[in-house]
Structures are given as C-alpha cells and as structure tokens.
Structure 1
C-alpha cells in the first residue's frame, strides 16, 4: 500500500451527508450522516457489500442527483450553493467517472470517446486527440484507436473508459466497481493501469468496491456501514 499524498485543502469534503428514500410508504435511510475528506493525490477505497449505499454516495459526490442533505465541498466550492448549470460545470472541470459497465458511445471509436469530454471543455481538437492517444497508448491500446466499442474486448472497453475518465486531468476520479465486470486476471491488469495513471497525473480517487483484495491496494480504506463511514 502506498502512503497517501495529502497536502493542502482536501479535494472533496463531505459533512453530515444524508439521503433517504420512500418505498412502499416506508422511509429508508441509505446515508445517515457521512463525513469524509480525501486529500490531494490520495486514492481511497470505499468498501461495503452490495446494497450498502456505495453507489448512492458516489452519485452525491459526483453531483449527479439531488435529494441529499448535508454539505459537499468540491475543490473548495460548496456544491449545494450552486445552480444546476454551475454544478455541471464544476463536475466537468474537476471530476472523472469510471463505472462497472463502460458506457462508451457505440457510434464513436476509442479515440473519439476520449476526445469528446475534452471538447466539452473547449480543448482544441488536435490537442484532445494527442491526449487521447497518449492515454490509450499508456493502456496498451495503440492499435485500437479506430475501433468502436463493439470491436473491443471487455477489458479493452474498460481501458477506454479509464482513458475517458482521465482525459481532462480531473482532480478527483470516482470509480464504481470499475473492474467488477471483468475476469480476475483482466481486472488486476486494468486496476494496475488505472492506479498508475491516477497517481502519475496526481489526481485523487474514490473507488467503490466490495472486494477486500482490491481495496487493500489503495492508499486508505473506508467502510460504509449502516449509512455511515468508519
């Protein structure tokens, strides 16, 4: 396990974060006052069984939906005080996402899937293409730039998803069971590549998993239990 790099203000700080749902007239408290800070360059595993609320917590941190109480401070900005457009801008500028299923755009090739998020931040197309090819090359996909997702293996698709998440050099990468849909050998390789790239560009990461072995390779492990972090 590597020692965390934790200097300056945290990249993300959660204060008393809570989320409840109504189901069949019954109130279900998924998050019950989560407090968590992640430092600059720190990779944190969010460990918990299926149904423990890991994905709900990542949706909150990712500013993907409302209905939460408490505070989310991302890159020094109180996200709860922003309107929808400003939250979208904050998310695009500071966050990257990797999911269990790659969610690549099927009509675009690997290079284009990594270029597109950069264009949303007005990166010149040529620079975006260079960045995409650098990332895909680092992930062993030098000969797959022009292949669409349907022409790639599951591991290759997930590598493209990793490259897409890192394309804009986000301060924080959110990964939800990023290798959960891969066989163990491929999962280990993709995780190694993901961690190397995140550390190499100095980003932080919050990686949700139920896999103890995977979690042990992060800088720090936190556990989500009964709606709280321990």
Structure 2
C-alpha cells in the first residue's frame, strides 16, 4: 500500500444502522457501523453470506435510503444531501463492480466502458481513449470489439472492472467481484483488479467471504452481528 496516498478519508461511516421488517419482526442488519477508508487504501469486507455485506455496500454507494447514522463521501455529508446531490456524489466519486458483470449485451467491451463516461459528460474521443487504456491494461486489447456473449466469464468481469474505474472514482465498491468465477480465474481477476486500483490511486471496499483473497488487500474488516470488527 502506498502510505503517502492515505492523507484523508474518502469515506467515513458513523453509527450506520439499517433495519427491516419481516413477518412483523424487526431485523437489525446493521447496528452501528463505524468505518473510515483513506485515499488509496484497499479494504476487504469479510463476512458470511447474509451477514449484511451487500447492505453495507448499498449504503456506501447511496443506492437506497432507510439508513440511520452518517455517511461522509469525499467530505460531503450524504445523509443530508437531496436526491440530485446524492446522484452527483455517486457519479463523481464512486465506481461499482458486482458479482455479476451486468454488461449491456448489445454493446461491445469498449462501448460498455465508454458509456458511463459519456453519461458523466466526457467527450467521446476522450472516453474511447480511456476505455482502450483500461482494457489494454487488463489484457483485453484484442477483445475490445467483442460483445459480452463472445467473452469468457473472466473477460466479462474484467470489462466490468474497467467500467467501474472508467470515471476515475475516489472509491471503488466491489461486491463479491469474483464470486461467480472458478478459483483459478477468480485469483487472476482479483489480482488484476487490485493492481489496477493501486495504479489508479483509488480507494476500494471489496466484499468477499474468501479469507485467502482478503489477505491480498491492505486491511480486513469483519461484519459480525451488524457491527464491524
């Protein structure tokens, strides 16, 4: 980890809570989560299935409401922001990689990485250069014009990694990003993801249930009974 990059918190969670009602029973999924991630820091979020890892990532990603506590992203208090401001925080500061790649099937690999940049207002030529740079870095220089159906599972997920980093996010959120791949492919894709995140200087919060993969990251936090250990 490049310690010189960790100069300030990219995200801070203070007393984060989330509860659901199920069959008339209150279920407390998050019970006061506190977490700070510095610039350039890669943090593994460990916990078994159903422990609330995805719920925590949804909170940090500002993807749904209903959370208590404070979420501060790049110095902005998200819980006090209106819908438009939260959308801008997601667009300007966050990137996402999911367990399933969710690539647009009618667009090739390069176009899937170009599109989020166009949404953010970048000129097409700049967006295409950025897409080509990222895909080449991930070993997909010869596969840019292939649609997702023509790519292997590992290749699809690498395109998803490039898409998540396309807008140079301050924080990349990844939810079991290699969980849908076999063990050998999973290791290779994660290594490429970590290498590229470090090269880009982004911070990352990566949810996994795989202890071995988590050990490759800078720090491990564990979600247990709704709090971080």
Fold agreement, TM-score > 0.5? yes
Runs ≥4 residues deviating over 4 A? 2-6
Please tell me whether the aligned partners of residues 5 and 42 of structure 1 are also in contact (alpha carbons under 8 angstroms): no
Corresponding position of 1:202: 201
> How far, CA to CA, are the matches of 2:198 and 2:2 in structure 1?
11
8 Å contact 2:6–2:41 — kept in the other structure?
Answer: no
Shift in Å at residue 154 of structure 1? 0.4
Deviation at 1:48, TM superposition (A): 0.2
- Aligned residue in 2 for 1:43: 42
Aligned to 2:108: 109
Q: Aligned-residue CA RMSD in angstroms?
A: 1.0
- Equivalent residues in 2 for 1:117-128, closer than 5 Å: 117-128=116-127
Q: Equivalents in 1 of 2:65, 2:109: separation in Å?
A: 32
Unaligned regions of 5+ residues in structure 1, if any?
A: none
- Cα separation, 1, equivalents of 2:175 and 2:158: 14
> Matches of 1:211 and 1:156 in 2, distance apart?
21
* Structure 1 residue 9: Cα displacement: 2.2
Which residue of 1 is the match for residue 81 of structure 2? Answer: 82
Equivalent residue for 2:11? Answer: 12
Structure 1 range deviating more: 142-151 or 206-215: 142-151
Per-residue CA deviation, residues 147-205 of structure 1 (Å, 9 max, x unaligned), is 11111110000000000000011000000000000011111110111001000010000
The match for 2:173 is 174
CA distance in 1, matches of 2:45, 2:2: 17
Structure 2 CA distance for aligned equivalents of residues 48 and 5 of structure 1: 29
Q: Aligned equivalents of 1:22 and 1:113: distance in 2?
A: 37
How many Å separate the matches in 2 of 1:9 and 1:71? Answer: 17
TM-aligned CA deviation for residue 121 of structure 1: 1.4
Which residue does 2:187 correspond to in 1? 188
SS at match of 2:9: coil
Q: In the superposition, relative to structure 1, how do residues 98 and 4 fare at CA in structure 2: closer, same or farther (>3 Å)?
A: farther
Partner Cα separation in structure 2 for residue 179 and residue 201 of structure 1: 20
Preserved contact between residue 95 and residue 173 of structure 2 (Cα < 8 Å): yes
* 1:143-182 → structure 2 map (5 Å cutoff): 143-182=142-181
Gaps of 5+ in 2: none
Counterpart of 1:67 in structure 2 is 66
Shift of 1:120: 1.2
* Structure 2 residue aligned with 1:213: 212
TM-score of the superposition, structure 2-length normalised?
0.98
Q: Distance in 2 between matches of 1:5 and 1:33?
A: 30
Residues 4, 43 of structure 1: 8 Å contact kept: no
Q: Distance in 2 between matches of 1:49 and 1:3?
A: 29
